[in-house]
Chains A and B, each alone.
Chain A
């Protein structure tokens, strides 16, 4: 084993690998921070480059770029209220509220610090627990996925800072959007109105860019320039993070664990991990009323969670070739291409290469801290730039970024339409983040629900019969029933005591 680790270190510290890690990290940071470009796209665009690299260097670029992109999606979210990736959408409002309170450095510092710690926790789980974690992944059939997706959707009510009914309505609108297209269990065109571009459905990225970025520019058209932020030096980014780590030790650990478990399950990735963790953080916080007003606790847990899920997402990919999310789907292709075929033999015959991948994960998460600080410092300059100079650039980024998702101008029209939808929703108290959750999760909810029913010939018994499924069902029903019971208890049982 030690010989393998020595060999692994030799592989990682080869000059080409080191250069690949640094360059792809910078690349990931830049791409992730541009509105409309996701971590998946950053990774996909690296594939042609990996043709020319050694096996370890090729995988190093994917690992480093995806980790950086997930973190740097937080930057435009915190500074401009425009999340860079769907994973950041859950807590964008929170981070932006902190910026408006003059705490941008704390919000972004927490982002980079807890992302790095989460990434390292995820890597350790990958190193120590890959086989048992993989068994969890394989115990999930569509019945379990249905409950999981259902639990995920319920986060909408917790995350949003508005009437829960409106949050649910916004989430359902998101599900409705996900109905469009022919990627449904029937494989027939649905709600496409005869438009070929709609056959593939509405991609989450243009919708996300529309409801957040375009609607933000639309609001700017009506409001006068906000009072300039108090002129002051952008403070230290890392100061206070150790204090936060101590204070929020348990939420952070919980975020890591949730992230690792959700990451391992194929199909549920960093996006869902961030949502669930942010919602859990609010649910179990001692000060839930502060959430949404610029409170760092939720950022700690969600940031720790989404980067942890990134590492554990590699477990099913490495063991069974089943992608944990879209990023590992691309990584599997690269693994095959480079002769590192996924499977248990990878852990025995190619052990030194495997250890090298672990080391790269750790290194990528460590250098995320200095590179992230530089990126935050550069990006924070836009806080001082005049709004009329920044907003036009955002409009252009929206157009080009959404065009790039499928190289089709139709996506730009989607962005414009969702800008209007987002603006109207926001003005009337419907949280747009909940709609994004619905769009991201919609396909999984429907797919798991309908295929489960097909498999059980229409019976709902198997939803409660399988052991893991039964536990998840109990959790879901409990979470659903709890607020209702609490309300009844307060209204009918507590009232007489007062009277």
Chain B
């Protein structure tokens, strides 16, 4: 997802202006001369200004210096292996799993959902079947024990209520 500064800067200009406009449109509060619109307008305009500076490449020199420093002080670089364009979509797996969790946890319960999430995440990261299955079975039980029993977080039971509720 490396975009050029021109792209991200332009995006920020747009976002800032939209924010400032939307903030400006907020209704005033009766009885107050300064309402909820001031802060978003100021913030939005500042974002747009920063975006413009970034798009024109101001401050990029610092970044190069910083990178050079980092390299000089022995930070290691992990080479990214280039593969097909679809390979990049793998980054969406973790947020996707969280959305999946939200959609099903109330229906089938915490333990089965967590097991599926853990298994898929482990497999996606290249774990062998034995490790993935181990994580999928043990991690949900351990987390349930800590959060449900110790911290009293109301995790839904679903199909598999744990014995310690």
Direct contact of A and B (CB under 8 A): yes
Which residues of A pack against B, CB within 8 Å? 27, 30-31, 34, 37, 45, 97, 100-101, 161-166, 168-169, 172-173, 175-176, 179, 184-188, 190-191, 214, 217-227, 289-290, 292-294, 386-389, 391-393, 395-401, 403-404, 407, 409, 412-413, 415-417, 419-420, 423-424, 427-430, 445-446, 449-450, 453-454, 457-458
Q: Which residues from chain B contact A289 at a C-beta distance below 8 Å?
A: 69
B138 — nearest CB in chain A belongs to which residue? A393
Q: Which residues from chain A contact B102 at a C-beta distance below 8 Å?
A: 409, 412-413, 416
Q: Is the CB of A217 within 8 A of B36?
A: no
Q: Which residues from chain A contact B108 at a C-beta distance below 8 Å?
A: none
Q: Which residues from chain A contact B39 at a C-beta distance below 8 Å?
A: 175, 179, 184, 445-446, 449-450
Given contacts A176-B40, A188-B29, are A395 and B154 in contact (CB under 8 A)? Answer: no
Q: Which residues from chain B contact A175 at a C-beta distance below 8 Å?
A: 39, 43
Bound CA–CA A430/B73 (angstroms): 21
Q: Is the CB of B117 within 8 A of A403?
A: no
Q: Is the CB of B35 within 8 A of A185?
A: yes
Bound CA–CA A220/B97 (angstroms): 15
Bound CA–CA A226/B147 (angstroms): 31
Q: Is the CB of A218 within 8 A of B94?
A: yes
Q: Which residues from chain A contact B99 at a C-beta distance below 8 Å?
A: 413, 416
B81 at the interface (CB under 8 A from A): yes
Q: Is the CB of B63 within 8 A of A166?
A: yes
B122-145 contacts to A (CB < 8 Å): 122, 124-127, 131-132, 134-136, 139-140, 143
Give the shortest distance, in Å, between B161 (CB) and chain A (any CB): 17
Give the shortest distance, in Å, between B106 (CB) and chain A (any CB): 7
Q: Is the CB of A221 within 8 A of B98?
A: no
A166 — nearest CB in chain B belongs to which residue? B54
Given contacts A162-B63, A190-B36, are A218 and B43 in contact (CB under 8 A)? Answer: no
Q: How many residues of B are counted as interface, with CB atoms below 8 angstroms from the partner's CB atoms?
A: 88
Give the shortest distance, in Å, between A188 (CB) and chain B (any CB): 5
Q: Is the CB of B36 within 8 A of A214?
A: no
Give the shortest distance, in Å, between B152 (CB) and chain A (any CB): 7
Q: Which residues from chain B contact A395 at a C-beta distance below 8 Å?
A: 94, 97-98, 117-118, 121
Q: In terms of DSSP, what is the predominant structure of the interface of chain A?
A: helix
Q: In terms of DSSP, what is the predominant structure of the interface of chain B?
A: helix
B140 — nearest CB in chain A belongs to which residue? A396
B23-74 contacts to A (CB < 8 Å): 23, 26-27, 29, 32-40, 43-44, 46-47, 50-51, 53-54, 58-63, 66, 69-70, 73-74
Q: Which residues from chain A contact B146 at a C-beta distance below 8 Å?
A: 30, 34
Q: Which residues from chain A contact B17 at a C-beta distance below 8 Å?
A: none
Q: Is the CB of A166 within 8 A of B59?
A: yes
Which among B69, B95, B125 is the interface contact of A417 at CB below 8 angstroms? B95
Bound CA–CA A172/B19 (angstroms): 12
Q: Is the CB of A185 within 8 A of B139?
A: no
Give the shortest distance, in Å, between B124 (CB) and chain A (any CB): 6
A414 — nearest CB in chain B belongs to which residue? B98
Q: Is the CB of B33 within 8 A of A172?
A: no
| Inter-chain pairs besides A290-B69, A292-B69, 14 sampled, C-beta below 8 Å | A163-B54, A166-B63, A186-B32, A221-B125, A225-B126, A293-B70, A388-B122, A391-B125, A392-B135, A393-B135, A396-B140, A415-B98, A429-B63, A454-B32
